[in-house]
């Protein structure tokens, strides 16, 4: 994080802390209210929405994009249940989706998506808990449903305003823009409310409140990508009128205050998070490595390694990232990562594959052939085993 960004965050947190310190001292500890149960649709429009959501879930259930590992699914559900309470989490159906974005969503009928890109960027169960609790807060506060109604009303109002403008030969664009801006403000208010309720849920759970760290890392990931692409860095302190979420800086500011209030009570769950996600490193990072955001992905891998410890699989993924860019300098760096990876007991066979192909590209024929032979020994039925054998016969 740059010094300028650090000073900006410190100033923002200080301002929010000063404004809310008196109220915070008198604030009672949050206790979850009794769960009222899942909401049932009312009226034709809502029942139609539920039917569409149910149909979409049936298609999603059999989609190859859904991760079918029951142990991973049960672990994510256990984090949600600890965060919001076991009575509440029974209303949800969780699907782990092969998507590289930092995202999770929840529909008004209890359907929750959790993207693998989210799991790749988090470092503890406590961080995952607050993200899942945020989505559940949207569900319990019925934000998706209110948003559905609000957009229906907003589109109706805009249509009537347009007709009135035609009838009176007057421009109504300013009024329509005001209605649209109001819809986006409504969404930002929802996001903030969900953040605050999620923080309260986690404070009442076994977890320590660790809500600001993911948003700090998202800022640093964006900085890494901009730096690699030589893009001009424009720091946004306040949302634009069309933004549907608070800015990352705003979230860091108010979450930092809440974390200071909560103190260090609770468990981070970092060890459990490392153990579970290390087993699926390939799934978490394969799509990211194949993408076109080298600087951002290198930051994400490096941040995880520094926080949770390096292992053979993570080093092999970083080596593959550098090998894919394939400049001479990158190939030398990739070779070093692959060599380090092969020194770990958990090194995947792909570490020797990467080492061999990289060494061959660098003209180190003996090293490359030896590494590829070891790859075939460890993965004789790999999809590319035939191609590698032909390469060694040359």
Residues 6+ apart with CB under 8 A from 274: 308, 309
Judgement on whether residues 140 and 31 belong to the same structural domain of the protein: yes
Give the confidence band of 190 by pLDDT, cuts at 50, 70, 90.
Answer: confident
Is 316 a residue whose pLDDT tops 60? yes
Please indicate, yes or no, if residue 202 is contained in any of the structural domains. yes
Tell whether 307 and 217 lie within a shared domain. Answer: no
Together in a domain, 171 and 67: yes
- Is residue 25, in this structure, part of any structural domain at all? yes
**306 and 229 within one domain:** no
- Report yes or no on 195 lying in a domain: yes
What integer pLDDT is reported at residue 215 of this predicted model?
Answer: 95
Instruction: State the pairing for strand pair 111-115/104-106.
Output: antiparallel
Q: Tell me 76's DSSP state.
A: H
- pLDDT, greater one: 244 or 87: 87
- Please give the tally of structural domains in the chain: 2
Predicted confidence at residue 75, as pLDDT, reads 97
Which helix H or strand E contains 176, and what residues bound it?
helix 173-203
Q: Who's near 380: CB < 8 A, 6+ residues apart?
A: none
pTM of structure: 0.81
pLDDT of 11 strictly over 60: no
Coil vs helix vs strand at 385: helix
Is the domain of 68 the same as that of 174? Answer: yes
Residue 311, number of CB atoms within 10 A of its CB? 17
Q: Which of 31-45, 146-160, 297-311 has the lowest mean pLDDT?
A: 146-160
| pLDDT score at 229 | 84
The pLDDT of residue 148: 57
pLDDT higher than 60, residue 152: no
Is the same domain home to 232 and 306? no
CA distance 117 to 256: 24
Same structural domain, 157 and 244: yes
Rounded Cα–Cα distance for residues 206 and 278 (Å): 23
pLDDT digits (tens, 9 = 90+) for 54-78: 888 888 888 899 998 999 999 999 9
What is the DSSP secondary structure assignment for residue 383, as one 8-state letter? T
* % of the chain surpassing 70 pLDDT: 76
* Sign of the CA dihedral running 115, 121, 127, 131: negative
Are residues 78 and 188 both part of a single domain? yes
pLDDT beyond 70 at 166: no
pLDDT band at 142 (very low <50, low <70, confident <90, very high): confident
Orientation of helix 349-361 relative to helix 365-378, angle to 10°: 160
Tell whether 212 and 312 lie within a shared domain.
no
The residues, ordered by sequence, that sit 6+ positions from 269 with a Cβ below 8 Å of its Cβ are 79, 124, 125, 126, 128, 129, 207
- Structural domain ending residue among the three candidates 262, 286, 305: 262
User: Do 302 and 257 share a structural domain?
Assistant: no
**Two structure tokens written together for 18:** 């000063």
Higher pLDDT: 230 or 320? It is 320
Q: Cα 289–290–293 angle (5° rounding)?
A: 70
At 14, list the tokens.
């200080």
Q: Is residue 104 within 8 Å of residue 112, measured between CB atoms?
A: yes
Percent of the chain residues past pLDDT 90, beyond the cut: 57
Residue 252: band (very low, low, confident or very high) from pLDDT cuts 50, 70, 90: very high
Q: What is the pLDDT of residues 349-372, one digit of tens each?
A: 999 999 999 999 999 999 999 999
Pairing of strands 111-115, 93-97: parallel
For residue 349, give the CATH number of its domain: 1.25.40.10
Answer whether residue 20 is part of any domain. yes
Residue 38 and residue 137 in one domain: yes
Residues linked to residue 267 through DSSP beta bridges, in sequence order = 207
Q: Span 333-346, mean pLDDT? A: 96
Based on the domain organization, do 105 and 177 belong to the same domain? yes
Q: Residue 22 pLDDT more than 60? A: no
- pLDDT band of residue 111 (cuts 50, 70, 90) is confident
Quick one: which of 252, 250, 249 has its CA closest to 260? 252
Domain span at residue 366 reads 296-393
Residue 61 lies in a domain: yes
- Gyration radius of the chain over CA positions: 25
Tell which wins on pLDDT, 263 or 234.
263
Within-domain flag for 276: no
Confidence class for position 160, pLDDT limits 50, 70, 90: very low
Residue 283 lies in a domain: no
Residue 182 has pLDDT above 50, yes or no: no
**In a domain? residue 278:** no
Q: Which residues have C-beta within 8 Å of that of residue 37, sequence separation ≥ 6?
A: 91
């Amino acid at each position: 994080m740059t010094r300028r960004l650090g000073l900006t965050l410190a100033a923002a947190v200080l301002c929010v802390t000063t404004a809310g310190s008196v109220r915070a001292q008198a604030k009672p500890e949050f206790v979850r209210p009794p769960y009222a149960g899942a909401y049932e649709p009312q009226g034709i429009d809502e029942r139609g929405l539920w039917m569409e959501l149910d149909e979409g879930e049936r298609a999603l259930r059999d989609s190859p994009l859904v991760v079918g590992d029951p142990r991973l699914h049960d672990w994510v559900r256990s984090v949600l249940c600890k965060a919001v309470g076991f009575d509440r989490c029974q209303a949800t159906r969780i699907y782990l989706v092969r998507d590289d974005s930092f995202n999770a969503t929840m529909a008004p009928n209890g359907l929750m998506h959790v993207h693998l890109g989210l799991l790749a960027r988090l470092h503890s169960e406590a961080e995952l808990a607050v993200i899942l609790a945020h989505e559940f807060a949207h569900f319990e506060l019925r934000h998706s449903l209110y948003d559905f109604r609000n957009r229906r009303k907003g589109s109706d109002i805009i249509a009537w305003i347009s007709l009135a403008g035609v009838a009176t030969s007057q421009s109504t664009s300013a009024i329509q823009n005001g209605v649209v801006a109001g819809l986006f403000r409504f969404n930002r208010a929802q996001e903030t409310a969900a953040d605050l309720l999620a923080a309260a849920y986690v404070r009442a759970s076994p977890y320590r409140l660790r809500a600001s760290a993911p948003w700090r890392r998202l800022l640093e990931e964006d900085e890494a990508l901009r730096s690699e692409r030589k893009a001009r860095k424009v720091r946004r302190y306040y949302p634009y009128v069309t933004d549907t979420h608070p800015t990352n800086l705003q979230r860091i500011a108010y979450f930092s205050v809440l974390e200071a209030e909560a103190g260090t009570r609770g468990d981070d769950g970092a060890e459990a998070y490392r153990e579970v996600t290390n087993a699926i490193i390939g799934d978490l990072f394969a799509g990211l490595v194949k993408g076109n955001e080298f600087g951002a992905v290198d930051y994400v891998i490096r941040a995880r390694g520094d926080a949770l410890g390096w292992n053979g699989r993570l080093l092999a993924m970083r080596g593959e990232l550098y090998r894919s860019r394939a400049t001479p300098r990158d190939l030398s760096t990739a070779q070093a990562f692959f060599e380090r990876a092969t020194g770990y007991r958990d090194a995947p066979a792909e570490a020797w594959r990467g080492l061999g192909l990289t060494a061959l590209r660098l003209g180190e024929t003996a090293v490359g052939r030896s590494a590829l032979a070891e790859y075939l020994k460890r993965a004789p039925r790999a999809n590319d085993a035939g191609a590698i054998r032909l390469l060694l016969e040359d």
